[in-house]
Amino acid sequence: MLTDQDFDAKPMIMFIGQYSTGKTTLIKYLLEQEFPGCHIGPEPTTDRFIVIMKGEKGGYIPGNALVLDPKKQFRPLTKFGTSFLNRFQCSLVDSVVLNSVTIVDTPGILSGEKQRVDRGYDFAGVLEWFAERVDRIILLFDANKLDISDEFRRSIEALRGHDDKMRIVLNKADGVDHQSLLRVYGALMWSLGKVLNTPEVARVYVGSFWDEPLRYDTNRRLFEDEEQDLMRDIQSLPRNSVLRKINDLSKRARLAKVHAHIIDAIYERMPRFFGREVEKNNIIQNLSSIYSEIEKQYQIPLGDFPELQKMQELLSKS
């Protein structure tokens, strides 16, 4: 559900990546200063979702208080529970950059089933909520470690349907020489092709986004050009924010229309009294045929339908 606050809000940029890929460092580089909750190190440091907004006096707002603020768009996040709200905050920073955008820093993603369970909340669900509302999603990869963990893979899958918002950053590229960088770039594109599952090539920005000297400056010109391209992309967000919101509203309207047709088709097939549970299981198993019937009858493109597997899971729980 979209609220008035969603339409009034500044464009948002969300940074996602595995731990120690340079998310927080890149945000600090953009703001040209640190922010409350900013911790940088080789170990997992950012352990919460941090929304960074304009604030002349600085400080921060805890998550439980933030969702109660009627002027901000975060009230729906209460559905993820206290465990999430305890790991959620708004940092207020007096930065010129934040005059036109809001930045979202996310926890570093680790590998292993234990990390997913220990969070205490639906991490992928929170990412999906933000993905529906942000204007840009920036996925960060470390040039020195390209492995994609299981949780990172699930996180990227939660972003499906928002491919137009995604940008890829290959960070810390000054840590490898020009020959190794070519191999790293090829390996990243191969890995992304398996995870993103789209025929289009994702835009990848290569560089080292911090204020320290480059280790290998052979590619200095390349890094500078890539940084300028990324900054131009970010600077374009306020101009295109209204169009993005109209686009999202149109997308939601099409999805609501398709959803209504699906529920109507299921209702027509359900028996009124006996055998409802058996028929429900049959409908879920043959949901793809219902999709095909609706597509032919109402001339609706298959791209407008909700993901089949996800819809089957939702129906099985209802």
48-68 per-position pLDDT tens digit: 999 999 998 889 999 999 999
Do residues 145 and 109 lie in contact, with contact meaning Cβ atoms separated by under 8 Å?
no
Does position 159 have pLDDT exceeding 70, yes or no? yes
Average pLDDT value over all residues in the chain:
89
Residue 259 has pLDDT above 60, yes or no: yes
- In tens, the pLDDT along 28-42 reads 999 999 998 887 665
Partner residues linked to 261 by β-bridges: none
Q: Residue 243 above 90 pLDDT?
A: no
What is the distance between the alpha carbons of residues 69 and 74, in angstroms, rounded to a whole number?
8
Place of tokens 């997992």: 44
The pLDDT value given to residue 241: 87
Specify the pLDDT at position 118. Answer: 67
How would DSSP label each residue in 43-90? Answer: S----SEEEEEE-TT--EEEHHHHTT-TTSS-GGGGGGHHHHHTTEEE
d(CA 180, CA 178): 6
The pLDDT score that the predictor gives to residue 246 is 87
Q: Which pair of structure tokens corresponds to residue 1?
A: 């559900």
Question: Where is average pLDDT lowest: 72-76, 108-112, 289-293?
Answer: 108-112
Note the residue count of the chain: 318
Q: How confident is the model over 72-97, as a mean pLDDT? A: 95
Going by pLDDT thresholds of 50, 70 and 90, the confidence category of residue 283 is very high
CB of 130 within 8 A of CB of 84?
A: no
pLDDT value of position 317 = 85
Task: Please report, as a single letter, which amino acid is at residue 129.
Answer: W
Q: Which domains does the chain have, with CATH numbers?
A: 4-235 (3.40.50.300), 244-317 (1.10.268.20)
- ∠ CA(226), CA(108), CA(76), 5° rounding? 100
Ranges 105-114, 199-208, 226-235: which has the least confidence: 105-114
| Band of residue 139 on the pLDDT scale cut at 50, 70, 90 | very high
How sure is the predictor about 165, in pLDDT bands with cuts at 50, 70 and 90? very high
Which residues, at least 6 apart from 23, have a Cβ–Cβ distance to it below 8 Å?
15, 16, 17, 46, 105, 106, 108, 140
Neighbours of 92 (CB within 10 A): 19
pLDDT of residue 49: 96
Q: What angle do CA 55, 51, 164 make, to 5 degrees?
A: 120
Please tell me the predicted confidence (pLDDT) of residue 58.
Answer: 85
**113: pLDDT strictly greater than 80:** no
Q: Name the band, by pLDDT with cuts 50, 70 and 90, for residue 163.
A: confident
Would you say residue 185 has pLDDT above 90?
A: yes
pLDDT value of residue 197: 74
Cβ count within 10 A of residue 161: 15
- CA terminus-to-terminus distance, the chain: 20
CA-based nearest residue to 131, from 111, 169, 96, 104: 104
Residue 14, phi then psi, degrees to nearest 5? -110, 130
Q: What b/e sequence results for 104-142 when a residue is b if at least 16 CB atoms lie within 10 Å of its CB, and e otherwise?
A: bbbbbbbbeeebbeebebbbeebbbbbbbbbbbbbbbbb
Q: What percentage of residues in the chain have a pLDDT greater than 90?
A: 58
Mean pLDDT, to the nearest integer, of 159-176?
A: 91
Per-residue pLDDT, 44: 57
Please name which of 96, 91, 109, 135 lies closest in space to residue 236, comparing C-alpha atoms. 135
Residue 97 has φ and ψ, to the nearest 5°, of -60, -35
CB-based contact 17:23 (threshold 8 Å): yes
- Are the C-beta atoms of 208 and 216 separated by less than 8 Å? no
Q: How far apart (Å, rounded) are the C-alpha atoms in residues 37 and 60?
A: 8
pLDDT at 313 over 80: yes
